[in-house]
Chains A and B, each alone.
Chain A
Amino acid sequence: MFIVIGIMFAGIGTGFLLRNRKLPGLSQLTMVLIWLLLFLLGLEVGHNEALIRNLHALGLEAFVLAIAGVLGSVIAARLLWVYLYRRKGAKR
């Protein structure tokens, strides 16, 4: 976890040193890595037989909980967003 954060800071340093150069293909590389990680996540799920067998029932339940959790948190985030915007005029 901290290794990953450390690597990102190393990237920030590298990017800063290269700030006067154009870096074509960087955002494409980022997208390809996201695709690879999602593919590997799917692979892990697909290999788990017990999980696949009960997927329909457990999956629906899991989905309801995920949607509810996301909705609750984004409504809370909206409240903070509105509160900050009204007080300081969108100071970030």
Chain B
Amino acid sequence: MKGSLIIVSFFLLGTLCGISDLIPESLTSGQLSFYALCALMFSVGISIGHSPDTLKSFRALNPRLGLLPVLTIVGTLAGVAAAWLVLPGRSLTDCLAIGSGFGYYSLSSIFITTYKGAELGTVALLSNIFRELITLIGAPLLVRWFGSLAPISAGGATTMDTTLPIITRYSGHEFVIVSLFHGFVVDFSVPFLVTFFCSLG
């Protein structure tokens, strides 16, 4: 829990620095995040390759776990459809379009802003940032309450990059391949599903 609070503090600190213009915007528009992400993935890769026993366990991967992306997509859409019942002023298709971001906030918010305007685009951006944050913060609890697959489903499209380190940490190294496969499939579905639900509304 302490680790998660530190992560949130860094996010809040970044937000405050952004609001107060303490740190120029050029820092975010540059390539720094991308390089940081590359460095992160390299260090995650080293920790995976460093323990060959983990790699051996990938061969014994249950092929049924290939169903996980489908369950993530269906589960998410069912969840946001239920949320639509308590959200006044939003159509069902708008809610489904936001849910179809699966944590991929950059792409989904651009798509939704283009099709539905900046307001819904902003909700999509925030909602999918929240999804990533919930996964990063809640991973240990999700594992305890819903099993080791839960952080992967919660991570949605982000499970092959930004949330992978957290998933490796709390679900275990043996779930890395499932996580990568899951992230790939869900990530790929984002532009299709978002466009589909925006075109219905």
Is B126 within 8 A of A62, CB to CB? yes
Is B79 within 8 A of A70, CB to CB? yes
Given contacts A76-B72, A77-B75, contact A61 B162 (CB under 8 A): no
Is B13 within 8 A of A39, CB to CB? yes
- Distance (whole angstroms) from the CB of A88 to the closest CB of chain B: 7
Q: 8 Å CB contacts to B: which residues of A50-92?
A: 50-52, 54-55, 58-59, 61-84, 88, 91-92
The answer for the CA separation of A69 and B130 in the assembled complex, in Å, is 11
Q: 8 Å CB contacts to A: which residues of B107-156?
A: 118-119, 122-131, 134-136, 138, 142, 145-150, 152-154, 156
Q: 8 Å CB contacts to A: which residues of B18-72?
A: 18-21, 23, 25, 27-28, 32-33, 36-52, 55, 57, 60-62, 64-65, 67-68, 71-72
Contact of B49 among A14, A44, A48, A54 (CB under 8 A): A14
- Residues of A near B74 (CB, < 8 A) are 76
Given contacts A14-B49, A66-B128, contact A42 B134 (CB under 8 A): no
B interface with A by C-beta (< 8 Å): 3, 6-8, 10-21, 23, 25, 27-28, 32-33, 36-52, 55, 57, 60-62, 64-65, 67-68, 71-72, 74-80, 82-83, 86-87, 90, 95, 98-99, 102, 118-119, 122-131, 134-136, 138, 142, 145-150, 152-154, 156, 160-162, 165-166, 174-175, 180, 187
Classify chain A: how many residues form its interface, as a range: 35 or more
Main secondary structure on A side of the interface with B: helix
- Residues of B near A88 (CB, < 8 A) are 62
The answer for the CA separation of A31 and B9 in the assembled complex, in Å, is 13
The answer for the CA separation of A71 and B135 in the assembled complex, in Å, is 11
- Residues of A near B10 (CB, < 8 A) are 35-36, 38-39, 42
The answer for the CA separation of A64 and B166 in the assembled complex, in Å, is 23
Q: A34-B166, A37-B33 are in contact. List 17 more A-B contacts (CB 8 A).
A: A16-B49, A18-B50, A36-B36, A42-B14, A47-B18, A62-B124, A63-B130, A65-B87, A67-B134, A69-B127, A70-B134, A77-B146, A77-B152, A83-B64, A92-B57, A92-B60, A92-B65
Is B60 within 8 A of A91, CB to CB? yes
Given contacts A65-B123, A81-B146, contact A30 B83 (CB under 8 A): no
